[in-house]
């Protein structure tokens, strides 16, 4: 075998188990970790890193984070940003939304902040290019009472409502609202028959009881929605309310008029809840012992193609639980084939239990984040978890064993030196993207230095074993390669990696035999094809 290729193999292959003495950045890495790029934001910075913590790209803003960030299909960065608002001073405030190019150029921005509203926590980029934005709005005491709110639950003299707007951006700082949904249109109350929304709470689970406070520490911020996510197959939105201890699924196939009503859309329910889960107390179908979610964050559908696809995964913070510990769960909503849901009237909405639960196997209290945090199912079946208040990310394999750990190296004064004690600089969420994400096509993915100072990532890159090699006649493909690399083999292709002549990884394709090379510049490269029988490593030319 070519000595250069062998050296490249020794340099770039991950160890089966590699421990480090690092205190920040990548502190543990194995070859079972999903080989992708992790996106997170702290302060004014947003980072895209590989598994060794090397920075692939970095965006710097003039604004502190407004919590959520996303890589768009064209490689731009969608980022929520913070503008303090003395008129609407809520935790998790945003107030501004921006889009940056790959090279940090500001392409679009808008301030969603006024005396009565602010954006906050989460946004979501839709497949059609529009953006869902989470908005909180300040309503008067008179408006709240007219909707059926008990005046004794209005100690602040006003009430916050939550709504979602779908915007279509234009120019550099303009947009059009093309769809809207609001909790205010889907309330029920049995306090005052002379006010709006009067009805039987137990027998209307599709509506929200305006007088149920849940875990609200104040009467005004009684909902505290912290996440909106979208399912393109179902055309449905999932909304998480931290204070209610519930998530809600609503129909996005409605018009704005139907979204404000109780009929219409593909499921005929208008903007009413298609499904709710987590706390039967909220619709009077159970007690505290039946409550499942406690201050939860980031409930979203697992993509259909992944392990437990179609289920909802959620980070359960454990806020106001008898014992302070967090956990991660998957749940199977009672969805029908047409996208409607089996929701019993006057009874608890199923399922009764979680399908899967992770908590610290040694002592549950070791794993706890009162606020923030996330969990994501990855293409190889692993689960990526962000323990937000500790700035800690870790990845579990299917046996719930930790196979990768990263601790954010950002302190109050910027990056920490390796060996420092981790600073408590919280992270709202982390998401890991595949190398073959469309946003990375044609982009420079050459790794830079890690974020931390005085870094040492040698253990992360160390090789403890070299995979068995397969014969070249077992795997065939055209060389030079055109716009498509088509691999012909009877072996199971687990992963394909492409490196430039400097040994820098520029492409990863998981479980694919037909790979898009249109965005790969012409030149010489090294390819590694991982199969169930071993590894093939060769020079190739892109024509």
Domain boundary among 428, 459, 490: 459
Helix (H) or strand (E) segment spanning residue 529: strand 523-531
Q: Is 388 helix (H, G, I), strand (E, B) or coil?
A: helix
Residue 427 carries which DSSP code? -
Residue 153 carries which DSSP code? G
Read off the pLDDT of each residue in 74-88 and give the average, rounded to a whole number: 97
With a cut of 90, say whether residue 322 has pLDDT above it.
no
Q: pLDDT tens for residues 225-249?
A: 999 999 999 999 999 999 999 999 9
For position 465, what pLDDT does the model report?
A: 37
Sheet strand arrangement including 65-71: 65-71, 77-82, 95-100, 106-111
**CA neighbours within 13 Å on the CB side: how many for 441?**
14
**pLDDT over 90 for what percent of the chain?**
77
Q: pLDDT tens for residues 176-204?
A: 999 999 999 999 999 999 999 999 999 99
**pLDDT over 70 for what percent of the chain?**
94
Domain boundary among 435, 459, 483: 459
Which residue did the predictor score with more confidence, 116 or 2? Answer: 116
Q: Domain for residue 490, yes or no?
A: yes
Q: Domain for residue 1, yes or no?
A: no
Q: pLDDT tens for residues 151-164?
A: 999 988 899 999 99
With a cut of 50, say whether residue 463 has pLDDT above it.
no
Query: Looking at the structure, do residues 446 and 478 belong to the same domain, yes or no?
Result: no
Query: Looking at the structure, do residues 512 and 363 belong to the same domain, yes or no?
Result: no
Query: Looking at the structure, do residues 355 and 495 belong to the same domain, yes or no?
Result: no
Dihedral angle computed from the Cα positions of residues 355, 359, 364 and 370, in that order, rounded to the nearest 10 degrees: -100
Kindly report the number of other CB atoms within 10 A of residue 288's CB atom. 9
Sign of CA dihedral 397, 401, 402, 403: negative
With a cut of 70, say whether residue 219 has pLDDT above it.
yes
Query: Looking at the structure, do residues 478 and 441 belong to the same domain, yes or no?
Result: no
In whole angstroms, give the CA distance from residue 159 to residue 518: 53
In whole angstroms, give the CA distance from residue 255 to residue 401: 45
For position 503, what pLDDT does the model report?
A: 64
In whole angstroms, give the CA distance from residue 385 to residue 326: 11
Q: Domain for residue 6, yes or no?
A: no
Query: Looking at the structure, do residues 409 and 508 belong to the same domain, yes or no?
Result: no
pTM for this prediction: 0.86
Using pLDDT thresholds of 50, 70 and 90, give the confidence band for residue 287.
Answer: very high
With a cut of 60, say whether residue 447 has pLDDT above it.
yes
In whole angstroms, give the CA distance from residue 46 to residue 374: 17
For position 3, what pLDDT does the model report?
A: 39
Q: pLDDT tens for residues 35-69?
A: 999 999 999 999 999 999 999 999 999 999 999 99
In whole angstroms, give the CA distance from residue 394 to residue 451: 17
Q: Domain for residue 15, yes or no?
A: no
Query: Looking at the structure, do residues 129 and 264 belong to the same domain, yes or no?
Result: yes
Residue ranges making up the domain that contains 490:
468-542
Q: Which residues pair with 38 in a beta bridge?
A: 49, 432
Q: Domain for residue 19, yes or no?
A: no
Burial zone of 43 (CB within 10 Å; 0-12 exposed, 13-18 middle, 19+ buried) = middle
Mean pLDDT in the chain?
Answer: 92
With a cut of 60, say whether residue 17 has pLDDT above it.
no
Q: pLDDT tens for residues 500-530?
A: 876 677 888 888 899 999 888 888 888 989 8
Dihedral angle computed from the Cα positions of residues 407, 408, 413 and 417, in that order, rounded to the nearest 10 degrees: 50
Query: Looking at the structure, do residues 448 and 483 belong to the same domain, yes or no?
Result: no
Read off the pLDDT of each residue in 418-435 and give the average, rounded to a whole number: 91
Q: pLDDT tens for residues 342-398?
A: 999 999 999 999 999 999 999 999 999 999 999 999 999 999 999 999 999 999 999
Which residue did the predictor score with more confidence, 62 or 477? Answer: 62
Using pLDDT thresholds of 50, 70 and 90, give the confidence band for residue 461.
Answer: low
Q: Is 481 helix (H, G, I), strand (E, B) or coil?
A: strand
Query: Looking at the structure, do residues 399 and 482 belong to the same domain, yes or no?
Result: no
Q: Domain for residue 272, yes or no?
A: yes
In whole angstroms, give the CA distance from residue 460 to residue 443: 24
In whole angstroms, give the CA distance from residue 397 to residue 33: 8
Read off the pLDDT of each residue in 298-324 and give the average, rounded to a whole number: 95
Query: Looking at the structure, do residues 305 and 354 belong to the same domain, yes or no?
Result: yes
Residue 129 carries which DSSP code? S
Record the tokens describing residue 6, joined without a space.
């062998």
Q: pLDDT tens for residues 91-131?
A: 999 999 999 999 999 999 999 999 999 999 999 999 999 99
Query: Looking at the structure, do residues 454 and 482 belong to the same domain, yes or no?
Result: no
With a cut of 90, say whether residue 1 has pLDDT above it.
no
Q: Domain for residue 216, yes or no?
A: yes
Find tokens 């020794």 and name the residue.
Answer: 10
Q: Domain for residue 451, yes or no?
A: yes
Domain boundary among 430, 459, 488: 459
For position 505, what pLDDT does the model report?
A: 78
Q: Where are the alpha helices (DSSP H) in 333-483?
A: 458-461
Question: Which residues, in sequence order, are CB contacts of 503 under 8 Å at separation 6+?
Answer: 8, 11, 12, 526
Query: Looking at the structure, do residues 476 and 418 belong to the same domain, yes or no?
Result: no
Highest mean pLDDT among 13-27, 138-152, 439-453, 476-490: 138-152
Separation in Å, CA 432 to CA 49, 122, 395, 473, 508: 9, 17, 10, 35, 13
What is the number of H-type helices and E-type strands within the chain?
4, 36
Q: Quote the number of domains for the chain.
A: 2
* Cα–Cα nearest to 517, from 436, 412, 459: 436
In whole angstroms, give the CA distance from residue 188 to residue 200: 7
For position 251, what pLDDT does the model report?
A: 98
- Angle at CA of residue 356, ends 355 and 359, nearest 5°: 145
What CATH number is associated with residue 484? 2.60.40.3080
Q: Is 132 helix (H, G, I), strand (E, B) or coil?
A: strand
Find tokens 């930790």 and name the residue.
Answer: 402
Query: Looking at the structure, do residues 328 and 477 belong to the same domain, yes or no?
Result: no
């Amino acid at each position: 075998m070519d000595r250069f290729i062998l050296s490249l193999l020794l340099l770039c292959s991950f160890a089966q188990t590699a421990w480090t003495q690092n205190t920040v950045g990548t502190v543990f890495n194995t070859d079972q970790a999903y080989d992708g790029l992790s996106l997170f934001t702290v302060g004014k910075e947003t980072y895209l890193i590989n598994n060794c913590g090397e920075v692939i790209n970095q965006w710097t803003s003039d604004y502190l984070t407004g919590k959520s960030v996303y890589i768009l299909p064209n490689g731009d960065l969608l980022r929520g940003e913070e503008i303090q608002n003395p008129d609407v001073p809520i935790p998790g405030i945003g107030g501004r939304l921006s889009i940056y190019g790959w090279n940090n150029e500001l392409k679009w921005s808008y301030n969603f902040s006024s005396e009565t509203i602010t954006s906050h926590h989460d946004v979501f980029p839709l497949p059609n290019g529009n953006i869902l934005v989470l908005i909180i709005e300040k309503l008067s005491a008179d408006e709240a009472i007219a909707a059926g709110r008990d005046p004794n639950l209005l100690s602040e003299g006003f009430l916050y409502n939550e709504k979602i707007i779908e915007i279509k951006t234009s120019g550099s700082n303009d947009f059009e609202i093309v769809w809207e949904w609001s909790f205010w249109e889907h309330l029920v109350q049995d306090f005052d028959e002379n006010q709006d929304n009067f009805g039987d709470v137990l027998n209307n689970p599709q509506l929200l009881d305006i007088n149920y406070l849940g875990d609200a520490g104040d009467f005004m911020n009684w909902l505290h929605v912290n996440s909106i996510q979208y399912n393109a197959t179902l055309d449905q939105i999932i909304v998480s309310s931290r204070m209610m201890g519930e998530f809600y699924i609503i129909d996005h196939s409605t018009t704005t008029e139907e979204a404000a009503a109780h009929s219409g859309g593909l499921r005929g329910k208008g903007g009413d809840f298609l499904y709710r889960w987590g706390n039967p107390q909220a619709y009077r179908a159970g007690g505290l012992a039946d409550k499942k979610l406690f201050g939860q964050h980031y409930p979203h559908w697992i993509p259909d193609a992944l392990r437990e696809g179609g289920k909802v995964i959620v980070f359960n913070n454990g806020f106001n639980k008898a014992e302070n510990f967090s956990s991660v769960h998957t749940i199977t909503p009672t969805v029908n084939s047409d996208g409607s849901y089996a929701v019993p009237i006057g009874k608890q909405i199923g399922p009764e239990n979680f399908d899967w639960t992770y908590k610290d196997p040694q002592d549950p209290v070791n794993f706890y984040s009162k606020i923030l945090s996330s969990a994501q199912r990855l293409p190889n079946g692993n689960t990526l978890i962000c323990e937000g208040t500790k700035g800690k990310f870790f990845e579990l394999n299917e046996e719930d064993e930790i196979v990768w750990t990263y601790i954010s190296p950002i302190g109050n004064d910027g990056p920490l030196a390796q060996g420092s004690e981790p600073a408590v600089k919280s992270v709202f969420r982390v998401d890991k993207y595949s190398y073959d994400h469309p946003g990375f096509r044609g982009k420079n993915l050459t790794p830079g230095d890690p974020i931390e100072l005085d870094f040492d990532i040698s253990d992360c890159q160390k090789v403890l074993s070299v995979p068995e090699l397969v014969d070249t006649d077992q795997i065939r493909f055209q060389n030079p390669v055109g716009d498509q690399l088509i691999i012909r083999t009877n072996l199971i292709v687990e992963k394909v990696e492409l490196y430039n002549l400097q040994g820098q990884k520029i492409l990863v394709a998981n479980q694919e035999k037909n790979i898009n090379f249109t965005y790969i510049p012409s030149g010489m490269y090294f390819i590694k094809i991982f199969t169930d029988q071993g590894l093939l490593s060769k020079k190739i030319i892109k024509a």
